[in-house]
Structure 1
Amino acid sequence: MAAKKGLEVGIVGLGKFGSALAERLVEMKVTVIGLDRSESRVGAMRDILEHVYHADATDKAALRQLGFGDLTHAVVSSGHSLEASVLATLNLKELGVPQVWCKAISEEHEKILRKLGADFVVFPEQYVAKQIAHHLAVPGLVHYFPLGSGVALQEVIVEKWAGSTLRDLNLTNRFHLQVVGIKRPDEKDYSYIPKADQVLNVGDMLLIIGAEDRLDRIES
């Protein structure tokens, strides 16, 4: 998926999560402005980021001087320092950054961040744990994308369904699930809105949307 043209993202905190996020965004042709209080972390990112600074995000004047107030998106990933995370989030919102996304380390931390106006809060460890749990518990599961309100988008690999068509499976009426994409083993990209009479083969990957509890019932 192509990134939004001209998108610039500020990342506060260049630890494991922040640096990995920065690298991926750069790969997607997004301009990243990195900031960290650690000189060694800043130094480690100089070959990756064109704009990376040794500064303290708890200092609002420093953020303003480095242009963070002109960004539309900023991510606060300040490791395990709750105080630094909270102050950085407060400063970014006071500078008028429309979208401030934050890494949280506890539910209490999340509550504080949301009260300060954080637009999105993520628990990386919990997210990874949920992915691994679904991989272990759901045969054939490749990825699990929670969408909220009990709805998920799930990729499954065809095994038992080989030789059947989507019409034969009748997932919409039987489970209230919808196949929105299909990808053959030799194909790189999905074909979306597949035809009902398309015959499935072993190894085909289906992209299915529906309620989580209903997705758990299917055996592909």
Structure 2
Amino acid sequence: MSRMKQIGIIGLGKFGGALAETLLNLKQEVIAIDRHESNVQKVRNIMPQVYQADGTDIAVLKQLGFNELDQVIVSIGKSMEASILTVLNLQELGVDNIWVKVVSAQHEKVLQRLGVSFVVFPEEFVAKQIAHKLAVPGIMDYLDLGEDVLTRELVVTKWAGRTLVDLNLTNKHNVQVVAIKYCGEGHFSFVPDASRPLCDGDVLIILGHARDVLEL
């Protein structure tokens, strides 16, 4: 079992608040701050470690132990200046693993030059997910890995009786079967047995670049 991570969240608006709640549900240890008391009050009943504080104050971050956390997510409203200053404070404290919610392309560019581990534009990410689900029936997830990666279900019909070794999808079509729900079973088997013959009605989960998946 992986150990519980200690994760800091700076900014408890809609994104930061939902992130904090989900991490707690996943049994992670979370410490969060927000400069607005109203945002702090919204999560106080579910979070044991939440404080009204300003992430642009490096002394506050150090006092609350943000320099000792495994990871910190900066999710500060619409203020690019406050977000960048907070990142600089965290870097000065020696925090290596910093993720940031960005508010614009310019914001993203600055953070990338600062060497931030990961940036996310929530609205853009959700828009891409919805667009791909609308355009590609059967899609499960669009993975924004920079090269249009997606996963999709395929129900076995003409491949019945053949094995994954026979199909050789990785070399022939540049896609990977990551899971199979065999006919009559109620769950997916991950890292499936490539030598087991497929049956009519088996469900394959394939992963690959959008172009390759759609061609298949």
Q: Is the pair's TM-score, using the shorter chain for normalization, greater than 0.5? A: yes
For residue 46 of structure 1, what is the aligned residue in structure 2? 44
For residue 179 of structure 1, what is the aligned residue in structure 2? 177
Cα distance in 1 for residues equivalent to 2:197 and 2:80: 52
Tell me if structure 2 keeps the 8 A contact 1:58–1:84.
yes
- Deviations, residues 159-209 of structure 1 (Å, cap 9, x unaligned): 76574645565533442222122134853443323335432444x542323
For residue 30 of structure 1, what is the aligned residue in structure 2? 28
For residue 73 of structure 1, what is the aligned residue in structure 2? 71
Tell me if structure 1 keeps the 8 A contact 2:154–2:206.
no
Alpha carbons of structure 1 residues 197 and 151: separation in structure 2 relative to 1, 3 Å: farther
Tell me if structure 2 keeps the 8 A contact 1:37–1:54.
yes
TM-score normalised per structure 1: 0.86
Tell me if structure 2 keeps the 8 A contact 1:33–1:52.
yes
Alpha carbons of structure 1 residues 108 and 178: separation in structure 2 relative to 1, 3 Å: same
Cα distance in 2 for residues equivalent to 1:48 and 1:190: 35
Alpha carbons of structure 1 residues 159 and 189: separation in structure 2 relative to 1, 3 Å: closer
Q: Which runs of 5+ in 2 are unaligned?
A: none
1:40 deviates by: 1.1
Q: How many residues matched?
A: 214
| Alignment partner of 1:154 is 2:151 | yes
For residue 5 of structure 2, what is the aligned residue in structure 1? 7
The SS at the match of 1:61 is helix
Tell me if structure 2 keeps the 8 A contact 1:177–1:210.
yes
* AA of the residue aligned to 2:186: E
Cα distance in 1 for residues equivalent to 2:186 and 2:145: 26
Cα distance in 1 for residues equivalent to 2:138 and 2:199: 15
For residue 84 of structure 1, what is the aligned residue in structure 2? 82
* AA of the residue aligned to 1:199: L
Cα distance in 2 for residues equivalent to 1:45 and 1:127: 25
Q: Which runs of 5+ in 1 are unaligned?
A: none
Cα distance in 1 for residues equivalent to 2:103 and 2:181: 37
- Deviations, residues 39-85 of structure 1 (Å, cap 9, x unaligned): 01101111111100000101111111111111120000012111111
Tell me if structure 2 keeps the 8 A contact 1:11–1:77.
yes
Cα distance in 1 for residues equivalent to 2:199 and 2:14: 40
Cα distance in 2 for residues equivalent to 1:190 and 1:146: 24
Cα distance in 2 for residues equivalent to 1:96 and 1:126: 30
RMSD between aligned alpha carbons?
Answer: 2.3
Alpha carbons of structure 1 residues 72 and 197: separation in structure 2 relative to 1, 3 Å: closer
1:22 deviates by: 0.7
Alpha carbons of structure 1 residues 42 and 161: separation in structure 2 relative to 1, 3 Å: farther
1:158 deviates by: 1.9
1:20 deviates by: 0.9
Alpha carbons of structure 1 residues 173 and 116: separation in structure 2 relative to 1, 3 Å: closer
Tell me if structure 1 keeps the 8 A contact 2:157–2:200.
no
| Structure 1, 45-54 or 167-176: larger mean CA deviation | 167-176
* AA of the residue aligned to 2:133: H
The SS at the match of 2:145 is strand
Tell me if structure 2 keeps the 8 A contact 1:183–1:205.
yes
TM-score normalised per structure 2: 0.87
For residue 138 of structure 1, what is the aligned residue in structure 2? 136
Alpha carbons of structure 1 residues 193 and 151: separation in structure 2 relative to 1, 3 Å: farther
The SS at the match of 1:47 is coil
